[in-house]
Amino acid sequence: MNKILNVSPSPHQQSPETTRRLMYGVVAALIPALAASIYYFGMGAIIVTLTSVLSCVAVEYLIQKFILKVKPSVSDGSAIVTGLLLAFNVPSNLPVYIVIIGAVIAIGMAKMTFGGLGNNPFNPALVGRVFLLISFPVQMTSWPVPSGFKTGYLDAVTGATPLGILSEGVKNGEAVSALMDKIPTHMQLFYGYMGGSMGEVAAAALILGGLYLIWRKIITWHIPVSILVTVALFTGILWLVDPTKYADPVFHLLTGGIMLGAIFMATDYVTSPMTHKGMIIYGIGIGVITVLIRTWGAYPEGVSFAILIMNAFVPLLNMYIKPKRFGKEVKNG
Amino acid sequence: MSSGILLTIIMLSALGLIAAVVLYFIAQKFKVVEDPRIDTVNEALPGANCGGCGFTGCRAFAEVLVKSESFEGLNCPVGGADTMARVADILGRQPVAVEPKVAVVRCNGTPENAARTSYYDGAVSCRVAHALYGGTTGCQYGCLGCGDCVESCKFDAMYMDPLTELPVIIDDKCVACGACVKACPRNIIELRKRNKKDRKIYVSCVNKDKGGPARKACRVACIGCGKCVKICPYDAITMVDNLAFIDSYKCKLCRKCVAECPTGSILEINFPVKEAKPAEPAVADN
Amino acid sequence: MFKTFPKGGIHPPENKLTADKPIVALPLPAQVTVPVSQHIGAPAIPLVEKGAEVKAGQLIAQSKGFVSANIHSPVSGKVSKTEPSVDSTGYKQLAVVIDVEGDEWVDTIDRSPALKREITMTREQIIERCQQCGLVGMGGATFPTHIKLTVPAGKKCDLVIINGVECEPYLTSDHRLMLEKGAEVLTGASIIMKALGVERVVVGIEANKPDAISHLTDLAKDFPEITIQPLQVKYPQGGEKQLIKACTGREVPSGGLPVDVGVVVQNVGTAFAVYEAVQKNKPLIERVVTVTGRSVTNPGNFLVRIGTPVTALIEAAGGMPDDTGKVVNGGPMMGKALALTDVPVTKGTSGIILFPEEASRRAEVLPCIRCGKCSSACAMGLEPWLISVLSEKGLFERAEKEKITDCMECGACAYTCPAKRPLLDYIRLGKSTVIRMARERVTK
């Protein structure tokens, strides 16, 4: 009896890396930051993170099953990653209903309306965050002061973030060196002892996660390094020109969402360029726009906007920046 | 009204006026002079841009129609005779009578008829499977079942039958644009003359192997025996490369070939069921 | 570390299960099916009919036209029929079927095993002998050797590279040939050198074959023009263009041939066949084939007559394991899956791999996540995500602009894709359509 064999075109082997493994790798890389956020913000962090992840997964599942009537693909892990990143971008005392609205916008509007995974031009978690920032400006800009489980949830004590202190102070004409006294030391900032969104505070935890991603070959160094180097250079030049008006580059690298943005948000596969050259230009653009907004813009922090603006340029970067082809063109003579 | 608002109104109105004048002159300078009849003819065409006429869309066809002296060889299969008559009216020409056609899938290699000898696991595309090998059956000419034809149909006239693993054409919706014919890498689908009540008689096979291997691969293959050619009273059947072909314009739907075919390769569609002859009494086994 | 090509490449598991299995001659089968097209170019025209008595090495099909090759009978016996039969292309092709009787060879063939080191033929004689003996590239491409050894007018050649890389996982036939017939291979390389009028030969070998590297380096002491070059283990190091880049730094231009940068590349097996043809007057009628797979009980490297059914090879390797789900003719990256095993071994068959069921099915196809890993893996600097979608949607003009014809179909992109998209399936489709379109433009 002849065995019935499988036939398919070559190659007949596929690498063990799958979309799901990549997504769960990102989740694993976010665990240090998650641990830091729970450590600093306590109950609120847990509630907001859980709500965000569950809502994102639920929104994707419901839309796929009942509106699009296709097989739900939530098991690929991308909704979980969006949920985690959305949670990391909001304060830990955000009411549950606002988190859910954020999830509906992030998954429903920014991802599913464009065709689901792989088709969205803008980073869904950032679209969710920016939507919430503009729709609920008060709740989205009252940052709990980190004090572990004593922080509480909706009753958390709030205070200004380092970037907030800086931008307010500079507008009022105060010297930067005086403002720096009100802000935790660089070392404290590195470990995350500051007010802010849940996931952005602990640079140490984020860098750890980033190194894991690079080791796992989930991301390459191009985007994070180009963003951080651009920010460092740009703010460094400003600081050297006038240290009383501009904060030092280390401060800028450790505060706000730049670490989270550089390592986890800007490196989102779907919304970032495909070529390494394109990635570097993308990173430089994000760095420049972030510093522009931070220094001269109305908002104290500009990473989310910078990334979304550069997302819009990505199709152009993909179109015109091609990898180096092997072999020169032969002119047909 | 404050002077600020007045100034704004005047400025914006002036801007608008200047823009309008500039645009008007630019539109005149870069105007493309075209025969206005092309637009009128284009309006009369269905607008499906299906390519069934052989040109790249309805506007291209409209241009050709306006430039042509006669309508010989020019036909819109979607709009049919009505549309061609209207276009003929617009252009003051004579419409040419064209026989309506319908697409026919000439393969009956269902899993019962043609045993599967391998599983295909590649990209779901007939073109890809065709480039790879003969197919999941012993017949290297037959339908691959990946649905390139179904995908190409812009008129929702086709679907893949999961039981037979063959494409099905919905006669009422088929406009014989020819997209499926082009999409099939094995030329299995053919545009044949459309008959009354959508009746069809055709050889449902494109296998060019000799009888033995053909039949081994598929129970209802055409084995090239030639009986149908001999029986046809209208000389409508020809045999080339071990494969019989019925010319749909010569066929008078008499069904003699269907009864003659030993493998059941020739199909009759939409005919009333012939009354079965009374069965011969079984011969007693002494 | 070791030299390599700078861009792209992947590291699939090597699985060289048969690296230490010496070459064993397979017993003659009862019947051989010899296709008349085992090479690039026009199929050969059969010279024998049913009932003809043939000897091993006898010419049974004549090459037709310039790009074509002769076919010789691999066995002695009687021609049973000449009919189309399914071969590893997946379609029926004309083949000469011979019932094997004994093992009588044409008496002009020198069957002695002694090494013949001295090359007495001239350049033209060598090329003619290669053509007469039906030699084709044995790496799998099967391009007629006599054409490759003829430098086209207006081009210059200064280097020969012998491809001993064998970068495909599982395959070890070239490895064993270098170990067991090293001197013959190097003599063959010298003959190729003479045919092209060149003074240098580089033999490229991947670093996962240290025994072959040291053995050939040892033998190369007698061959002053030959250098052995170890190379980094990376797929597709064995691709012509990548091999040339790694060994010399020269890049074959897009749309060009290796001879445009003064290099000609020949596979180790071809070099051995050239030795046998020129020094022993032996046509190409047998070759080494690796039969392997994780469940195979007796994997090995077998010396097989052309036309032997693959079923005989599988029997010799211990029979088809019960859990077999896929049989591949060639390597796992570029080989062709067989629908039936009753197909013949041809000049280009380098290996037969039997995959167990769990490794036979493709994973579910998911949407493209635009990770760009396919582009990073592409050794030709292409963007598989783009050209595959362009081919799928029928946008062939744009695909041509994106250099889809540069693709060498190595499969690194489809291997790497985390969403398991059938990239190469569509790229191949696009490539063949674009080549056809380009040809039609020229002939118009």
Domains located in chain C, CATH noted: 26-109+284-359 (3.10.20.600), 123-280 (3.40.50.11540), 373-443 (no CATH)
Q: Is C217 helix (H, G, I), strand (E, B) or coil?
A: helix
Read off the pLDDT of each residue in A299-310 and give the average, rounded to a whole number.
Answer: 93
Q: Residue C177 corresponds to which amino acid? A: L
Q: For A125-174, what is each residue's pLDDT tens digit? A: 999 999 999 999 999 988 888 877 776 788 777 888 888 888 888 888 88
Give the Cα separation of B169 and B150 in Å (integer). Answer: 9
C416 in contact with chain A, both atoms CB, cutoff 8 A: yes
Contact A4 B133 (CB under 8 A): no
d(CA C348, CA A155): 75
Q: How far apart are the first and last CA of chain A?
A: 58
Residue that has been written with the tokens 């090495």 in this structure: C57
- Cis ω on the peptide bond leading into residue B111 (within 30° of 0)? no
Q: Are A120 and A110 in contact (CB under 8 A)?
A: yes
Nearest CA of chain C to the CA of B200: how many Å? Answer: 32
> Over 90: is that where the pLDDT of A191 sits?
no
What is the least distance, in Å, from the CA of B221 to any CA of chain A? 22
- Chain A: list its partners (3+ Cβ pairs within 8 Å): B, C
Q: Which two tokens stand for residue C354?
A: 């039997």
Q: Residue C125: CB partners within 8 Å, gap ≥ 6? A: none
Q: How far is C79 from chain A (nearest CA, A)?
A: 27
Could you count the other beta carbons within 10 Å of the beta carbon of residue A136?
A: 17
How much of chain C, in percent, has pLDDT values that exceed 90?
96
Please give the C-alpha separations between residue A259 and each of A126, A227, A256, in angstroms, as whole numbers: 14, 9, 8
User: Who contacts A322 (Cβ-Cβ below 8 Å, separation ≥6)?
Assistant: A275, C381, C383, C402
C426 at B interface, C-beta within 8 A: yes
User: A54 pLDDT band (50/70/90 cuts)?
Assistant: very high
Tell me, yes or no, if C14 comes closer than 8 A to chain A by beta carbon: no
3-state secondary structure at position B87 = helix
C91 in B contact zone (CB under 8 Å): yes
Contact A9 B120 (CB under 8 A): no
What is the SS3 assignment for A132? Answer: helix
Find the residue in A nearest to C415 (Cα).
A14
CA torsion C142-A4-C312-C286 (nearest 10°) is: 0
Distances (CA, A) of C401 to B86, C370, C390, C404: 43, 21, 11, 8
User: Do the beta carbons of residue A325 and residue C405 sit within 8 Å?
Assistant: no
> To the nearest whole angstrom, how far is the Cα of C255 from the nearest Cα of chain A?
6
- Flag whether residue B216 sits within 8 Å of chain A, measured between CB atoms: no
Contact between A5 and C337 (Cβ < 8 Å): yes
Contact flag A327-C256 (C-beta cutoff 8 Å)? yes
CA distance between the termini of chain C? 51
Query: Is the Cβ pair A6, B122 closer than 8 Å?
Result: no
**Parts of chain C with a pLDDT under 70:** none
Q: In terms of Cα–Cα distance, which of A284, A309, A275, A279 is closest to A121?
A: A309
Top CATH class, B101-269: alpha beta
The reply to whether residue B122 touches residue C432, judged by beta carbons under 8 angstroms, is no
pLDDT at A333 over 50: no
At residue A78, what are phi and psi to the nearest 5 degrees?
Answer: -70, -30
- Maximal C-alpha separation, chain C: 63
What's the rounded Cα separation, in Å, for the pair A90 and A194? Answer: 14
pLDDT value of position B104: 96
pLDDT of residue B281: 55
Rounded Cα gap, residues B161 and B110, in angstroms: 10
Burial B171-206 (b: 16+ CB within 10 A, else e): beebbbbbbbbebbbbebbbbbbbbeeeebbbbbbb
Mean pLDDT of A67-73: 92
Contacts of C429 in chain B (CB under 8 A): 125, 127-128, 131
Q: Which residues contact A286 (CB under 8 A, 6 or more apart)?
A: A227, A230, A261, A262, A266, A303, A306, A307, A310
Pairing of strands C263-267, C286-292: unpaired
Is the pLDDT at A259 greater than 50? The verdict is yes
Q: Which residues are bridge partners to C270 per DSSP?
A: none
The answer to whether B167 and B143 have CB atoms below 8 angstroms apart is yes
Work out how many CB contacts closer than 8 A connect A with B.
27
Of A179, A193, A203, nearest to A257 by C-alpha is A203
Using DSSP's 3-state secondary structure scheme, residue C204 falls into strand
Specify the pLDDT at position B99: 82
- In a 13 Å sphere around the CA of C259, the CA atoms on its Cβ side amount to 15
Do the beta carbons of residue B204 and residue B265 sit within 8 Å? yes
| Residue segments in chain B with a per-residue pLDDT below the cut of 50 | 284-286
Is the pLDDT confidence value at A1 over 60? no
| H or E element that contains C23 | strand C23-25
**Rounded alpha-carbon distances, angstroms, from residue C180 to C160, C174, C211, C278:** 22, 10, 11, 19
Distance from CA of A313 to the nearest CA of C (A): 15
Question: CB atoms < 10 A from the CB of A292, how many?
Answer: 14
Q: Would you state the pLDDT for residue A277?
A: 95
Query: Considering chain B, what percentage of its residues have pLDDT values greater than 90?
Result: 65
Task: Compute how many other C-beta atoms are within 10 angstroms of the C-beta atom of residue B274.
Answer: 10
The reported pLDDT for the residue numbered C144 is: 96
Distance, CA of B121 to CA of A7 (rounded, Å): 6
8 Å CB contact between C190 and C115: no
Here the ipTM equals 0.91
Produce one character per residue of A157-179: b if its CB has 16 or more CB atoms within 10 Å, e if not.
eeebbbbbbbbebbeeebebeeb
HSE of A149, CA atoms in CB hemisphere, 13 A: 0
Contact B119 A9 (CB under 8 A): no
The pLDDT of residue A248 is above 50: yes
What token pair was written down for C229? Answer: 């070059």
Cβ contact A4–B122 (<8 Å): no
**pLDDT of the residue at A243:** 86
Q: How is B215-239 classified by DSSP, letter by letter?
A: HHH-TT------HHHHH-TT--EEE
Please indicate whether, in this complex, the C-beta atoms of C380 and A325 are within 8 angstroms of each other: yes
Q: How far is residue B193's CA from residue B247's CA, in Å, rounded to a whole number?
A: 9
Tokens matching residue B52: 């069934």
Q: Where are the domains of chain B?
A: 36-91, 101-269
Q: CB A9 to CB B118 under 8 A?
A: no
pLDDT number for residue C323: 94
Q: Is B209 on the interface with C (CB under 8 A)?
A: yes
d(CA B191, CA B183): 13
Say if C200 is an interface residue toward chain B (CB within 8 Å): no
Q: Give chain C positions within 8 Å (CB) of A11.
A: 332-334, 411-412, 414-415, 424
**CATH no. for B36-91:** 1.10.15
Q: Give the nearest chain B residue to C335 (CA atoms).
A: B132
User: C159 in helix, strand or coil?
Assistant: strand
DSSP sequence for A46-111: HHHHHHHHHHHHHHHHHIIIIIS-S---GGGSHHHHHHHHHHHTS-TT--HHHHHHHHIIIIIITT
Peptide bond into C236 cis (omega under 30): yes
3-state secondary structure of B169: strand
Contacts of C108 (CB under 8 A, 6+ apart): C57, C281
Residue from the list A4, A8, A9 with its beta carbon closest to the beta carbon of B117: A4
- And the tokens for C175? 């490895």
How is A230-282 classified by DSSP, letter by letter? HHHHHHHHHHHH-TTTS--HHHHHHSTTHHHIIIIITT-TTTS-SSHHHHHHH
For A11, the closest of C260, C333, C340 (CB atoms) is C333
Tens digit of each residue's pLDDT (9 = 90 or more) over A200-217: 888 889 999 999 999 999
Listed by number, the residues of chain C in 283-322 with a beta carbon closer than 8 Å to a beta carbon of chain A are 320
Q: Look up residue B258 and give its two tokens.
A: 């269907």
C342: contact with B, CB 8 A cutoff: no
Tokens encoding A142: 């009252």
Cβ contacts of residue C373 below 8 Å, gap of 6+? A17, C416, C417, C418
The angle subtended at Cα B132 by Cα B131 and Cα B136, nearest 5°, is: 115
B56 touches chain C (CB under 8 A): no
**Contact indicator for C345, C32 with CB cutoff of 8 Å:** no
Q: How far is CA A266 from CA A28, A281, A290, in A?
A: 18, 12, 12
Where residue A75 falls among pLDDT bands split at 50, 70, 90? confident
Check for a shared fold between B36-91 and B101-269.
Answer: no
Contact between chains at B133 and C428 (C-beta distance less than 8 A): no
User: By C-alpha distance, which of A194, A190, A201 is closest to A260?
Assistant: A201
| CA C55/CA C107 separation, integer angstroms | 9
In angstroms, the separation between the Cα of residue C258 and the nearest Cα of chain A is 11
pTM of the complete model: 0.90
Distance CA C54, CA C106 (A): 9
How far apart CA C355 and CA C160 sit, in angstroms, is: 36
Q: What type of residue is C216?
A: L
C78 touches chain A (CB under 8 A): no
Which of A2, A5, A9 is nearest residue B122 as measured by Cβ atoms?
A: A9
Residues of C in contact with A275 (CB under 8 A): 372, 375
A9 close contact with B: CB closer than 8 A: yes
Q: Are A107 and A79 in contact (CB under 8 A)?
A: yes
With beta carbons under 8 A apart, name residues in chain C contacting A15.
10, 12, 415-418
Q: Are C71 and C36 in contact (CB under 8 A)?
A: yes
Scanning B119-138 for CB atoms below 8 A from A yields 119-123, 128, 131-133, 136
Q: Which amino acid is at B205?
A: C
